[in-house]
Structure 1
Amino acid sequence: MMGKGMMNGIAGAAMVALGGSMPAMAEQGPTLAEIRAGDARPLDVTSESLHIAQESLHKAPQSLHIAPQSLQNALIQFSLQTGMQTSADAALLQGMTSPGATGTLAPAAAINQLLAGTGLHYRFTGPASLVIVRSEQGSLASSDSLTVVAGVENPTGPVDGYRATRTLTGTKTDTPLRDIPQSIQVVPRAVLDDQQASGLSEAVENVSGVQQSGTSGNRSETFRVRGFSSPGYAIDGVMLNYAGDRPETLLDLANVERVEVLKGPASALYGRGQPGGLINIVTRRPSYQSEGDGTLQAGSFGFRRAEGSISGPLNEDKTLTGRFSAAGQTEEGFQNHRRDSEREFGSVALRWEPNQLTSFTFGLDHTRQKMPFDRGLVVTPENEVLLQPRRFLAEKWSAIDARKTRLSLGAEHSVNDQLTLRGSLRYDDARVQDTGIDYRSLDDDGRTLGRRFTDRQEDSRNIDAQMEAQLQFYTGGIDHQLLGGIQYTRSRMDFTSYRANIDDIDIYQPVYGAVKPTPKINSDYVENITMASVFLQDQIAFNPQWKALAGLRYDHVDQKMNQKIGDGEPDMSDGAITGRLGLVYQPVEPIALYASYADSFAPQGGQSRAGKALAPEEGWQVESGVKVDLIPDRLSLTTAVFQITKTNVKASDPLDSDYSVTTGEQRVRGIEMDITGEIMPGWRVLASAAYLDAQITKDKDYDPGNRLSGVPRASGSLWSTYQLQGGLLSGLKFGTGIQAVDTRKGDLDNSFSVGGYYRLDAMVSYPINKHLTVSLHGRNLTDQQYIATPVSRTENHPGAPRSIVAAVKATF
């Protein structure tokens, strides 16, 4: 199937990093790999290096478990379990099978067993590198010189540098990014480490057309993708609680391997979703080799953080592997008179492979946070946000106490080389209580702010079950990869809200000390959402140049709300068919041209002030673009032009933020550009730019032509690092980056605007030795004052002033 499209190598041979279809290892091992010629460097194999290589092959025996299977997959397992790099000509492996190798074996004995009866041989290309050749080619002479091909990229595993080439997010199958007819951007862990990122908003700042859209009073983060707000995100391909309109806690990055953004509608594959795009968090998997890392950070505004992860085999034959990750963080914050922020996080991931055809996974994570409840700053009578970023307009007792537990189970079985079956079960449970202060409006004097105390409680539970079948087959020489499945989701949220007015506050000369009042109940309900879905997707390769993607899904949603206060009946039962169709043309290997259509369907939680359910949001997009390697297999460029139209748009009710309204039709037209990769050895770059024309096109409450709130016309980012490759300071890394954002309208009425800004960041790091690295990271070095996230006239979140964070990282 896709393995037929492996790239030609150099030195007159088609050298590939071993890959192919390996369904039983879809989550933890590579199913397909392509040559990384851009990382290849000629290696003169001397007698000394041959001796080292022979020693590595004959090193101490180790426990291996490589079942009989295709030779291609067997050699992948050899590389994974021994740590040795193995490369081959793709044509040599076509139709080859291997008897496998199981037991306590030295690598030399294992590779000989794997090649038994194939007529193939191996030769050295480096101290830990092998190339598979025909037997008549003989062994490698010491004067020969070959190109070493870099190793396998796993679509859920670490990325070599900044440039990812494969993903599961775009299709739920292991697919090259260049073969997917939509823009997909990947922010790998290497970027998160270099930028010392501690939150999801810092990660997605590197992606074109993505901005934070809100914080729900500082409890969590939501984002705008291509101009449209997404209330949540997916973790390992599964969306969060359907009954909630926002995440319950902030996402901790301690166990995050990649942050991937699929631009445009993804409902045909994932169901509920916004037309702007999907953010998918890929968590760190257990490793076959023992490894670990730990980081201590300290910085401005009382920031303290410790995180670590340890992973490896849990039994002798490496059929059971595990990873444990944990983090703890505290911060005083840059705003005055606010309580401190606290967050603790822990996760466990296990993988059991009783044989080569079957695998089981288990995941458990828990987050606990205590945060200050904060609505930010208010608009002054000049229709601007003029207050200092450090100004806090609530009380120190205004806080959020939240916890969330997530459990996942997965199973996968390869029936044969063509058919793979997968199943997953996800459960999460969360509780949030906030004793928050919301801002009402300014008095006629322009400085006295009315305030309201709300004691809210949300208890939510969500269960998601999925079954999938992946089938590879050919029809008339056309390659198909068919994915079909069913999904059942049930979400429940118990919500209560109590309210009372509290003392006003002077926004220019605040006096704190208002007493927490005794509130009266104003809302009490239980909301249940059930969704049943069936979906089908076909990835088609007509030939190496032309590829297509088609998908269809049906979702049926039942939403019931038991109102314990009031007479509303916000029940809803509805269904929708969503589709996806795209075409990719690759005239030459470094270039892919694509065009696509997709639509979206999103049931909406909440209700109107009349007690009615909100109609589901619907949307559609047309997109075309180009994906090209500016430097072959090193530096990639993705450009896209698109139009998205969305109807039944949900917005906060301007008369009462506890309720929502639908606002007609909105449209975004835009162009985006993203560059990722390595310009030369040691010089990495991540750049993005977007222009968005986002406006209301039809509405009964807002004027058509108004710009969508919080969406800049132009925005962009640049992050670049360089690491010295030799000399006395070898390993020294320094980098800098800039974020630039245009002016934004603060609400759909366009009653006020917040100014554009730029933010300059920088970093430097140095490896004390191969296990210990120290670094220093500066953010907003020019100390710009700006509004990072406008939400409404009474909620605008300022960006942080200049800050410095120092870190020490240990690996073993």
Structure 2
Amino acid sequence: MKKIVTLLFLATTLYGFSQGNIKGKVTTESGTPISMVNVMLKNTNKGTETNHNGNFNLQNVDAGNYTLVVTYMGFVPQELTVNVQDDETTQLNGIILKESTEFLDEVVLNGNGSNDYVVKTPSSSLRLKTEVLKLPQNIQIVSNELIKSQNIINMMESVTRNVSGAQMIEHWGTFARINMRGFKLPAFRNGMNVELPWGPLSEDMSMVNNIEFVKGPAGFMLSAGEPGGFYNVVTKKPVKENINEITLTAGSFNTYRATFDSGGALTKDGKLQYRFNGMYQENESFREFEEGSRFSIVPSLRYEISDKTQITTEFTYQEADQMIGSAYVFAPIDDGFGSLPQDFSGIDKDFPSSDIEELSLLTNLTHNFNDKWQVQGQYMYMDYSLEGSSTWPVTPNGEGVLPNGDMYRGVSIWDALSTNELAQIYVNGEFNTGGITHKILGGFDYRNLEYWADWGQGGNIDVNGPFNIYNPVYGNAVYPVFNRSQSVKERGAANYQGNNYRAFYLQDEAWMFNNRLRITLAARYNDATIFAYGQESNDEKVTPRIGVSFDILPGFTAYGLYDEAFTPQYGQSYNNQRFDPLESVDIEGGLKKEWFNGKLNTSITAYQITKNNYLVTDFEHPAEDGSFRFSTQTGEVQSKGIEFDMQGQITECLNVVFNYAHTDVRITEDTNPDNIGTRIAGHAKHITNGWVNYTFHEDNFLKGFGVSLGYQYQVDRSSWAWGAENNPLLPDYFRLDGGISWAKNNFRVNLNVNNILDEYLYSGSAYAKYLYWQSEPGINGRITLAYRF
């Protein structure tokens, strides 16, 4: 009897989920297709966007009558009555939008009050055709509107505050070192792995459309074997509609900045489109003698060869003039962290700056065989060069800083050159077998990375006697003169490293029971060669991926995931022995829910990541110069955690971001029993962030004004260096930020104040016989003026 009741219940439930599709095309009055048009079903959580041909496909819509709302900035919105029937496709052709300056003004006026904090679908560079809610993985997307609200100008700023468990780790000042779930994230750009041993140059926000944080292994990206996940920067792309915007920014520490964003059609038929983003910035620091500048241009073109085929080419040039290592402060262990003034400078007058240049060329070719099958191929070549130096103590016997505060500051050459060649081709398709829809993803990924670096020249700049941190005297530094008569490749031959890999991937995402249940079966084959410091290893392996996603109710999904990862490792051991590849297993599950007709998204996830053959710093075998550049391999490390993310619109005026993560990473197996249970460094056990924005929409003098307030809170922070007894030496971290904004017509103003409480905030670690840390500035701010024309 129970079985009969269960079957009747399932049949009734599944019948209630009978669904159909809505397809259509949106054009201008002249017949030009419009891309990225918002298509929503009124008073529901269903919506999508048009592609580059103006086509949209709204799938899995319950049978019934609806009002379809079609909106795009600068055009008069349209509402159409639509009848959806079970297992049928409703075709809507000839949806024409008319231009309207009034609507353009209204959209700009809404500014941060619009629902642009929520991005429902991943970018095409993630290769996935399924909306985030229904994917068996935790993916968080930081939108361009959210970036503007927080007045973020660089990837190294507080982007991570918008994602649970993500945090910036202390760095050299040129690239974003981000940890998530306790492990370092590789950097991706437009779906391609641009991670370098010390790079790439952090992206300026002028070129960024949004940032996707993928948590856990990402087999669908072929090359990403890191079990913690990765972040993918999606750059701005060519558009058919005219875009012209200029921004001017001024801020604390003599920061001045200008950007320009332009796009549109170059031909009457709209087939040739462009986008151009440019930026220039100069800045000083709250530390004396520290200054820098940045410059970037990113032009791109797209040509629609036919209705089914398009080619896009994007060129990126970034240049930075920065001081590497100038943020580090050193002190005796007994003094403790933060024992020197917040603005203390460990460098000196005329400290040598480093010039970094990064250029890349990306070409993407996309062909749609029909509305179900598509093939994409893309190729990127990146060239990265650095000419400069870095600083670190060179006090004899590795003391770094003596108990009386004396130290000898060292400056070493840091010249580097890297070439990064990447190629991908992948296919998305769909077919049915009975009542099951199969969404197929398959592809090939290739990468060839080479990196040369010269760190072999340097010297003590305090030739007239030690520098004392308690009584600093500046102006007596004597900087070494480096010999650059040979090329970087010749000088950096001993530090030559890189990798060459090939990967194949095949995935079947099976949709069944009227698309309520989705089962993902996939496998990835990796063949990689790693070379570093004269050592080379080749490894290959097939890793599986199994995912399940189920709609408990419309807009409410449960998921589970089992994924293995495989990553060959390079590093230098004290006895020049090669390291075994890193092998990882991720098991996770969670719930995702849409609220308020899809305007607010929440997710909660529990995970366990097990890493075998994990590399850590070898503090038992220092190098001859006293540095700790060697690595050693533990047996097994396990990361466990819980994550919660909330992002979106609660009311028409109120947008919110809130997240929390509990992360615990420990050694679970090791040849040394004393290490079992030891905490792995580089994470905070508890992290929570919040950001609230309220924009006035009422028709009074406050209309267009917005107010923002946000916080970052980290509890039980571990030291960064694994050998620093792994004690939570760092105090809890709390930072409060806020801002006000105003927008009217085509004009927008954002004033943001960071570290409102003027706290002394820092991160760092014990290192050998001394401490180091990097402090953040006290209360500081910036104002940005934007004009769109």
TM value normalised by structure 2: 0.83
8 Å CA contact 2:322–2:355 kept in 1: the answer is yes
* Counterpart position of 1:530: 500
Tell me if 1:225 matches 2:180. yes
Q: Which amino acid aligns with 1:772?
A: F
Gaps of 5+ in 1: 1-7, 21-27, 41-63, 111-126, 130-149, 151-157, 564-568
**Which residue, out of 505, 523, 529, partners 2:467?**
505
8 Å CA contact 1:489–1:530 kept in 2: the answer is yes
Tell me if 1:394 matches 2:347. yes
Structure 1 residues 603 and 83: CA distance shift in structure 2, 3 A:
farther
**Which residue, out of 740, 753, 770, partners 1:764?**
740
Q: Which amino acid aligns with 1:530?
A: N
Q: Which amino acid aligns with 1:469?
A: V
Gaps of 5+ in 2: 1-15, 27-33, 60-67, 108-112, 484-490
State the Cα distance separating 1:722 from its structure 2 match. Answer: 0.6
* Counterpart position of 1:745: 718
8 Å CA contact 1:225–1:277 kept in 2: the answer is yes
Q: Which amino acid aligns with 1:214?
A: E
**Which residue, out of 494, 510, 525, partners 1:540?**
510
In structure 2, C-alpha distance between the alignment counterparts of 1:675 and 1:329, rounded to whole Å: 33
In structure 2, C-alpha distance between the alignment counterparts of 1:38 and 1:76, rounded to whole Å: 11
Q: Deviations over 1:73-92 (max 9, x none)?
A: 9x999989977546563637
Structure 1 residues 771 and 790: CA distance shift in structure 2, 3 A:
farther
In structure 1, C-alpha distance between the alignment counterparts of 2:387 and 2:556, rounded to whole Å: 51
* Counterpart position of 2:780: 803
* Counterpart position of 2:636: 665
What is the SS of the residue equivalent to 1:382?
helix
Structure 1 residues 301 and 78: CA distance shift in structure 2, 3 A:
closer
Q: Which amino acid aligns with 1:693?
A: D
Tell me if 1:709 matches 2:672. no
* Counterpart position of 1:514: 477
Tell me if 1:436 matches 2:390. yes
In structure 2, C-alpha distance between the alignment counterparts of 1:15 and 1:348, rounded to whole Å: 37
* Counterpart position of 1:51: none
In structure 1, C-alpha distance between the alignment counterparts of 2:552 and 2:728, rounded to whole Å: 48
Q: Deviations over 1:743-770 (max 9, x none)?
A: 3121323156111121111110112x31
In structure 2, C-alpha distance between the alignment counterparts of 1:85 and 1:252, rounded to whole Å: 36
In structure 2, C-alpha distance between the alignment counterparts of 1:81 and 1:575, rounded to whole Å: 52
Q: Which amino acid aligns with 1:808?
A: L
In structure 1, C-alpha distance between the alignment counterparts of 2:585 and 2:447, rounded to whole Å: 24
Structure 1 residues 694 and 236: CA distance shift in structure 2, 3 A:
same
8 Å CA contact 2:412–2:455 kept in 1: the answer is yes
8 Å CA contact 2:222–2:503 kept in 1: the answer is no
What is the SS of the residue equivalent to 2:147?
helix
* Counterpart position of 1:371: 322
State the Cα distance separating 1:531 from its structure 2 match. Answer: 0.7
Structure 1 residues 17 and 473: CA distance shift in structure 2, 3 A:
closer
* Counterpart position of 2:366: 412
Please show how residues 47-446 of structure 1 align to structure 2 within 5 Å.
Answer: 85=78, 87=80, 89=82, 91=84, 94-95=88-89, 160-168=115-123, 172-200=127-155, 201-215=157-171, 217-230=172-185, 232-241=186-195, 244-267=196-219, 269-338=221-290, 340-374=291-325, 376-382=328-334, 384-385=336-337, 386-396=339-349, 397-439=351-393, 441-446=399-404
State the Cα distance separating 1:395 from its structure 2 match. Answer: 3.3
Structure 1 residues 384 and 710: CA distance shift in structure 2, 3 A:
farther
Structure 1 residues 159 and 166: CA distance shift in structure 2, 3 A:
farther
State the Cα distance separating 1:70 from its structure 2 match. Answer: 9.4
Structure 1 residues 29 and 237: CA distance shift in structure 2, 3 A:
farther
Q: Deviations over 1:634-660 (max 9, x none)?
A: 111111111111122233444334443
State the Cα distance separating 1:717 from its structure 2 match. Answer: 0.6
In structure 2, C-alpha distance between the alignment counterparts of 1:321 and 1:580, rounded to whole Å: 39
Q: Deviations over 1:435-454 (max 9, x none)?
A: 11113534552522344321
8 Å CA contact 1:373–1:435 kept in 2: the answer is yes
What is the SS of the residue equivalent to 2:598?
coil
In structure 2, C-alpha distance between the alignment counterparts of 1:300 and 1:66, rounded to whole Å: 45
* Counterpart position of 1:154: none
Identity across matched positions, percent: 23
In structure 1, C-alpha distance between the alignment counterparts of 2:401 and 2:295, rounded to whole Å: 41
State the Cα distance separating 1:300 from its structure 2 match. Answer: 1.0
In structure 2, C-alpha distance between the alignment counterparts of 1:331 and 1:653, rounded to whole Å: 37
Structure 1 residues 752 and 179: CA distance shift in structure 2, 3 A:
closer
Q: Which amino acid aligns with 1:247?
A: G
What is the SS of the residue equivalent to 2:554?
coil
Structure 1 residues 193 and 756: CA distance shift in structure 2, 3 A:
same
Q: Which amino acid aligns with 2:642?
A: I
In structure 2, C-alpha distance between the alignment counterparts of 1:774 and 1:492, rounded to whole Å: 44
In structure 2, C-alpha distance between the alignment counterparts of 1:169 and 1:387, rounded to whole Å: 48
8 Å CA contact 2:765–2:771 kept in 1: the answer is no
**Which residue, out of 409, 415, 426, partners 1:457?**
415
State the Cα distance separating 1:544 from its structure 2 match. Answer: 2.8
Q: Deviations over 1:428-477 (max 9, x none)?
A: 00001231111353455252234432112211001111111111101111
RMSD of the TM alignment (CA)?
3.5
* Counterpart position of 1:147: none
Structure 1 residues 666 and 626: CA distance shift in structure 2, 3 A:
same
In structure 2, C-alpha distance between the alignment counterparts of 1:76 and 1:362, rounded to whole Å: 33
8 Å CA contact 2:194–2:200 kept in 1: the answer is no
What is the SS of the residue equivalent to 1:680?
coil
In structure 2, C-alpha distance between the alignment counterparts of 1:361 and 1:483, rounded to whole Å: 22
8 Å CA contact 1:636–1:676 kept in 2: the answer is yes
What is the SS of the residue equivalent to 1:571?
strand
Structure 1 residues 289 and 709: CA distance shift in structure 2, 3 A:
same
What is the SS of the residue equivalent to 1:524?
helix
**Which residue, out of 546, 553, 557, partners 2:528?**
557
In structure 2, C-alpha distance between the alignment counterparts of 1:518 and 1:264, rounded to whole Å: 46
Q: Deviations over 1:82-137 (max 9, x none)?
A: 77546563637945678989xxxx869x9xxxxxxxxxxxxxxxx999xxxxxxxx
Structure 1 residues 516 and 267: CA distance shift in structure 2, 3 A:
farther
In structure 2, C-alpha distance between the alignment counterparts of 1:524 and 1:342, rounded to whole Å: 31
| Range 602-611 or range 733-742, more displaced | 602-611
Structure 1 residues 365 and 482: CA distance shift in structure 2, 3 A:
same
Tell me if 1:730 matches 2:703. yes
Q: Which amino acid aligns with 1:644?
A: I
8 Å CA contact 1:592–1:628 kept in 2: the answer is yes
| Range 695-704 or range 732-741, more displaced | 695-704
* Counterpart position of 1:573: 538
What is the SS of the residue equivalent to 2:334?
coil
**Which residue, out of 734, 740, 757, partners 1:782?**
757
In structure 2, C-alpha distance between the alignment counterparts of 1:36 and 1:187, rounded to whole Å: 25
In structure 1, C-alpha distance between the alignment counterparts of 2:116 and 2:551, rounded to whole Å: 25
8 Å CA contact 1:408–1:424 kept in 2: the answer is yes
Structure 1 residues 783 and 362: CA distance shift in structure 2, 3 A:
same
